Amino acid sequence: MNIHDRPEIPYENLQEILENAFNGLKTFNILKSSVEMGVFDNLTNLTTPEELSRKLDIEPIFSYYILEALFKIGLIEKEKGAYNNSRLSKLYLNSNSKFNRGNCILSLNESVDLWNNLTDTLKGNLSKKEESFFPFIIQVMAEDCICGELQDTSSIISSYEDFNNSKTLLDLAGGHGIYSIAFSKINPKLECFVFDLPSVIKETKKYIEKYNANVKTLSGNFYRDDFAGPYDIIFSSYNPGGKNPEIAEKVYNALNFNGLFINKQCFPENENQTLEDVLDNLEWNFAKFEKSMKAETRYSFKGDLTFNGYLDFLENLGFDIVDVHAICHLNPSFGSKSRNKLIIAKKVR
């Protein structure tokens, strides 16, 4: 090899990819540690790096660089060498805010571990446990949904005359129960029931108590158990059975005539268009979750129908498709946005 030869392609082409990726990792960790250590809780007033270092019990040099990094990311403000929260961090990163999203950030840590040990993960050393996943993730989903998705969803649904005239609602796989809690506050005459796995219902009850809501719970497995009823509305959001024909048939049977089936779902289509799509689909396969019947594409489960296939199936069952609304929101387990559909169907036959 002649030491004077230059490579045919400049190494900067590779370096740029690496640098962006590594800076993303560092930025994520600064954000995560800042939430963990309570940095944003300590920046309600202008604070110097020295003051912060005493409060957090870290070296002043570290508090200085953490603050400078958060300032350059755009999360905090700076005035004469002291720092305080921006409006964004005050709203979403202070643990006393009702819109605090700290858990949405900290919960990504489990996935970060799998990504950091990707070789082990690809060889099948997975740490995600199916039993503990849902009771954990619904708490993150609760924190996420009250920052916009709940309000978007409930304002669409409450605009339907049928919602206001209904007496009973089943929130199938309702998890935290926040949707039912909101529905019962909009229409106090509506008797709402949250159906979910017994381990999750324990958590649901805590949210019902927190919001002092008149919402009831039903424990069960929607693949095996009866939904009771009949109901005037069956609502379902990101239910793993929400694209499954057998569950749709159970919904049909548990609805009153003229009842509404309102189903918010992500139907995978045109997958793997972007790098983000590919990363999410890879991550979806890190956890197998046999009992939930996970399939190989994100948000999909064995036996799922496509969007058009599902609508046809509902129509053949005896539903009219009243409307389909687009709702794009964060999927908290991936930390990325998903393109969802809110289907409003009416049992007419």
Contacting ligand SAM within 164-183 (CB under 6 A): 173-175
Please state, in angstroms and rounded to a whole number, the distance separating the CA atoms of residues 37 and 173. Answer: 34
Name the amino acid, one letter, at 74: G
Q: How far is the CB of 333 from ligand SAM (least distance, A)?
A: 8
The answer to whether the CB of 71 falls within 8 A of the CB of 89 is no
Contacting ligand SAM within 126-165 (CB under 6 A): 134, 138, 141, 145
Closest CA to 178 of 153, 142, 144, 209: 142
Draw the binding track, 73-102, toward ligand SAM (x: CB under 6 A; -: no contact).
Answer: ------------------------------
Q: From the list 40, 92, 222, 284, which residue makes contact with ligand SAM (rule: CB under 6 A)?
A: 222
Number of residues that bind ligand SAM (CB under 6 A): 18
Closest CA to 256 of 324, 161, 179, 167: 167
The size of the chain, in residues, is 349
- DSSP strand E in the chain: where? 76-79, 82-85, 168-172, 191-196, 215-219, 231-237, 255-265, 319-331, 336-347
β-partners of residue 234 are 170, 261
Contacting ligand SAM within 17-76 (CB under 6 A): none
Q: How far is the CB of 213 from ligand SAM (least distance, A)?
A: 15
Q: Is 310 in the site for ligand SAM (CB under 6 A)?
A: no
Q: How far is the CB of 174 from ligand SAM (least distance, A)?
A: 5
Q: How many CB atoms within 10 Å of residue 39?
A: 27
Q: From the list 223, 286, 289, 313, which residue makes contact with ligand SAM (rule: CB under 6 A)?
A: 223
Ranked by CB distance to ligand SAM, the top (closest) residue is 175
Residues lying near ligand SAM in the complex (CB under 6 A) are found at 134, 138, 141, 145, 173-175, 196-197, 200, 221-223, 237-240, 292
